[in-house]
């Protein structure tokens, strides 16, 4: 079953035309990667889905419903959750308070304790202020805040951004557990090897247009794509 169907969207910032005829679909339970360099349009695609920068043309259908023009909170209420690049945890609240707050705001949340089972690192940091966490720990907290709301579609925008390689390994292990759960994921990444480990299908985006779509195996074999559009040579 199709969870999300983006059909030919064009998104602008003022007069600046950023996304050009972007189409993308996600089926139930899939983990799909959106791959591209800095500035390619990954974040703008996520923001278009969330209703933060709605497209001026094209359609976005979520579980059969047209969501273009709906406010971000209405889109969130339908089960779509974005973990933004800048993580946006509440810095002066503790880890526990951050998770509890997200839990309280959800209509059908998961138990808070399940998040500590999924992210044992956070269990030991319950009473720490979020601002004192490392980048990797903050990323885990941001994902836990999203997951406790029992999203049906999780949008992860460059979760590895700014993280040390050893932390990226930890995050990969934890996200592998997350994606085995009942959630569909769109993962935006510049770190292609990270995305290859989690996703089964991918789209390559460059200057606001999708330039390739295929299985991760197909993308992995296309050295020309990796060199031209992704940060691997
Ligand atoms: P990054 O890793 O830098 O976030 P990205 O693939 O997510 O890369 P976007 O953030 O979607 O890329 O940016 C796509 C294009 O839109 C870039 O050219 C960027 O400069 C431009 N852009 C992003 N945000 C704005 C904005 N608020 N106003 C104007 N232009 C913007």
Of 31, 17, 71, give the one whose Cα is nearest residue 207.
17
Name the residue at shortest CA distance from atom 16 of ligand 1: 18
**Cβ partners under 8 Å of residue 39, min gap 6:** none
Q: What is the pLDDT of residue 231?
A: 72
Separation between Cα atoms, residue 54 and residue 67, nearest integer Å: 9
pLDDT at 46: 97
Predicted local distance difference test score (pLDDT) of residue 232 = 60
170: helix, strand or coil:
helix
Ligand 1 proximity of 191 Cβ (cutoff 6 Å): no
In whole angstroms, give the CA distance from residue 87 to residue 24: 24
Which residue has its alpha carbon closest to ligand 1 atom 19?
39
SS3 26: strand
Residue 23 and residue 76: Cα distance in Å, rounded? 21
Report which protein residue has its CA nearest ligand 1's atom 2. 38
Is residue 222 a contact partner of residue 196, using CB atoms and an 8 Å limit?
A: no
Given a contact cutoff of 8 angstroms between Cβ atoms, the answer to whether 96 and 127 are in contact is yes
Distance between Cα 114 and ligand 1 center (Å) = 35
List the one residue out of 79, 75, 29, 86 whose CA is nearest residue 49. 75
Tell if the pTM clears 0.90, that is, is over it.
yes
Local mean pLDDT, 10-residue blocks, the chain (233 residues): 97 97 96 95 97 97 97 94 88 96 92 93 95 91 93 94 86 85 91 93 97 95 89 59
- Sorted by where each begins, the domain ranges of the chain are 87-150
Supply the residue whose CA is at minimum distance from atom 17 of ligand 1: 39
Best residue among 14, 15, 18 to mutate for probing ligand 1, ranked by most atoms within 8 Å of CB = 18
**How far, in Å, CA of 150 to CA of 182, rounded?**
9
Q: What is the pLDDT of residue 176?
A: 87
Mutate to test the pocket of ligand 1, among 12, 13, 209 (most ligand atoms within 8 A of CB): 13
DSSP string, 210-230: EEEEEEHHHHHH-HHHHHHHS
pLDDT of residue 233: 46
| Ligand 1 center from residue 209 Cα (angstroms) | 13
184 CB-near residues (< 8 Å, 6+ apart)? 3, 4, 26, 27, 28, 29, 30, 31, 152, 153, 154
Ligand 1 atom at shortest distance from the alpha carbon of 190: 2
């Amino acid at each position: 079953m199709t969870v999300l169907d983006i059909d030919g969207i064009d998104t602008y910032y003022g007069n600046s035309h950023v996304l050009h005829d972007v189409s993308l679909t996600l089926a139930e339970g899939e983990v799909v990667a959106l791959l591209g360099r800095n500035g390619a349009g990954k974040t703008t695609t996520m923001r278009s889905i969330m209703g933060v920068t709605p497209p001026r043309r094209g359609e976005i259908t979520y579980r059969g419903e047209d969501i273009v023009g709906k406010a971000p909170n209405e889109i969130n209420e339908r089960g779509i959750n974005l973990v933004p690049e800048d993580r946006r945890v509440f810095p002066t609240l503790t880890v526990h308070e951050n998770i509890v707050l997200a839990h309280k705001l959800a209509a059908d949340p998961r138990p808070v304790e399940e998040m500590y089972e999924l992210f044992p690192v956070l269990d030991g940091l319950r009473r720490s202020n979020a601002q004192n966490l490392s980048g990797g720990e903050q990323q885990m907290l941001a994902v836990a805040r999203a997951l406790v709301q029992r999203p049906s579609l999780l949008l992860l925008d460059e979760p590895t951004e700014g993280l040390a390689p050893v932390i990226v390994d930890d995050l990969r292990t934890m996200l592998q557990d997350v994606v085995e759960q009942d959630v569909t994921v769109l993962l935006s990444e510049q770190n292609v090897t990270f995305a290859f480990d989690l996703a089964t299908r991918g789209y390559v985006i460059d200057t606001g247009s999708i330039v390739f779509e295929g299985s991760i195996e197909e993308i992995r074999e296309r050295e020309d794509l990796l060199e031209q559009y992704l940060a691997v040579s």
